């Protein structure tokens, strides 16, 4: 019975990760892109 509970828990964790990853990516990717663009712009201005 204990093994069955562990398996259920693992499946729940995996499901949670699969639901969370796209959400995390949709939040972090634009943020990372903006950070990179900002740093790039600052470097371009400093190099002139």
Domain ranges of the chain: 1-48
Condensed to tens digits (0 to 9), the pLDDT of residues 11-25 reads 888 878 788 888 988
Q: What's the rounded Cα separation, in Å, for the pair 45 and 41? A: 6
The alpha-helical segments, DSSP class H, found in the chain are 2-47
State the pLDDT at residue 28: 93
pLDDT at 8 > cutoff 60: yes
Mean pLDDT of the chain: 88
Percentage of the chain modeled with pLDDT above 70: 94
State the pLDDT at residue 41: 96
Please state the pTM of the whole predicted model.
Answer: 0.49
In whole angstroms, how far apart are CA 20 and each of 24, 28, 38, 45?
Answer: 6, 12, 27, 38
């Amino acid at each position: 019975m204990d093994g069955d509970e562990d398996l259920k828990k693992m499946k729940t964790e995996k499901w949670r990760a699969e639901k969370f990853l796209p959400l995390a990516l949709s939040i972090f990717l634009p943020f990372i892109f903006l950070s990179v663009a900002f740093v790039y712009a600052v470097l371009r201005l400093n190099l002139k």
